[in-house]
Amino acid sequence: MKQWIALATLAAVSAGAQAQTYPGNKPVSIVVPFTAGGPTDRVARDLAEAMRKQIPGSNFVVENAAGAGGTIGATKVAKAAPDGHTVLLHHIGMAATPALYRKLGYKTLEDFEFLGMINDVPMTLIGKPQLPANTYRDFENYIRANAGKLNIAHAGLGSASHICGLLWQSNLQSKDAMTTIPFGGTAPAMTALIGGQVDVMCDQTTNTTSQIEGGRVKAFAVTTAKPLSTHPVLKYYPSLQEMGMKNFDLTIWHGLYAPKGTPAAITKTLNDALKKALKDPEFIKKNESLGALVVTDKRSDPAEHKKFVAAEMIKIKAAVDAAGKYAD
Ligand code: MLT
């Protein structure tokens, strides 16, 4: 019996020691469940830089683990060692995937420690440059006139781009759903759109702003309730609500997660660093330049983060159920 007590004490002492020296000089891998170069990757790289500033000597690195609408990367982190050296940066997909996948490698509310939320990112409805439409009205009429003949790109079932396309088509109620073309992320999807290989996409402003500004894609609307009237590039586009889609109001929230069982001292270190990063002027400026808003409310607290995601899961399940044929 004494041996067991000694062993348990040793384990507790070493976990405590590890927490005190965390993260030490071992990298902290921020897993992004989509391909490099996309909107989620953008948030992660900017956050990694801001987090490094908060913990001197730390080394936050981004690791892309794409596929299956972000579920491959999320599963990887759910099953990773709970030692604070693997965290997940993910978005609305954490709430959407349980409504869309019968078999999922993780339970969103049970298999993660919630480390706080990061930002809210609007989305833009965009089309390939050859699309014969310049206003949202022309665009919508063209979609209706070509029902069943056009395709829409997204980053896999349960991705933000998939959820946006599902909600938009569900509101459009066009005769036939568009053909969906999945990619490992919206970076490759954007390349296909610019090249005219796909017709339409709904993607986050962190990925679309520069392409719209450069005239490489056509933009038609934003997904926020109100237009982004203060943004130098995005202010020219109406909101879908203004275009008649009642209650359409979609922004993509991002949060940080660690595997369940990560020691409380480590999750506290990560949340403290995150909260300071959210106040970093450079991080705020980078987000705002791309239309994104850094979280300033209580969602940066782990408990509020978890409560918010739980509520979103209920909301998104109802929307997916209502979307019917547009949900794939
Ligand atoms: C998504 O559409 O869910 C992701 O934002 C795509 C990406 O980050 O590449």
Residue 56 maps to which CATH number?
3.40.190.150
Structural domains counted in the chain:
2
Give the position, in ligand 1's atom list, of the atom nearest the Cα of 189.
9
User: Does residue 146 lie in a domain region?
Assistant: yes
User: Does residue 328 lie in a domain region?
Assistant: no
Let me know the angle formed at the C-alpha of 192 by 186 and 197, rounded to the nearest 5 degrees. 140
Q: Please compute the mean of the pLDDT values over residues 93-114 and round it to a whole number.
A: 96
User: Does residue 150 lie in a domain region?
Assistant: yes
User: Does residue 184 lie in a domain region?
Assistant: yes
H or E element in which residue 119 lies: strand 112-127
Comparing CA positions, the residue from 34, 30, 40 lying closest to residue 69 is 34
State yes or no: pLDDT of 15 exceeds 70. Answer: no
Q: Are residues 73 and 182 in the same domain?
A: no
Q: Are residues 82 and 32 in the same domain?
A: yes
Domain that holds residue 295: 2-121+252-323
Q: Are residues 91 and 231 in the same domain?
A: no
pTM comes to: 0.93
Pocket, ligand 1, Cβ cutoff 6 A = 34-35, 38-40, 93, 155, 159-161, 185-187, 204
User: Does residue 73 lie in a domain region?
Assistant: yes
pLDDT in tens, 224-262: 999 999 999 999 999 999 999 999 999 999 999 999 999
How many angstroms is it from 25 CA to the middle of ligand 1? 30
Q: Are residues 106 and 150 in the same domain?
A: no
User: Does residue 241 lie in a domain region?
Assistant: no
Q: Please compute the mean of the pLDDT values over residues 204-232 and round it to a whole number.
A: 97
Q: Are residues 110 and 257 in the same domain?
A: yes
pLDDT at 1: 67
Q: Are residues 12 and 80 in the same domain?
A: yes
Q: Please compute the mean of the pLDDT values over residues 191-197 and round it to a whole number.
A: 98
pLDDT at 3: 76
Comparing CA positions, the residue from 140, 158, 160 lying closest to residue 150 is 140
Looking at the chain, the whole-number percentage of residues with pLDDT higher than 90 is 87
Which domain-ending residue is among 236, 265, 294?
A: 236
Identify residue 180 by its one-letter amino acid code.
T
pLDDT in tens, 296-310: 999 999 999 999 999
How many angstroms is it from 13 CA to the middle of ligand 1? 41
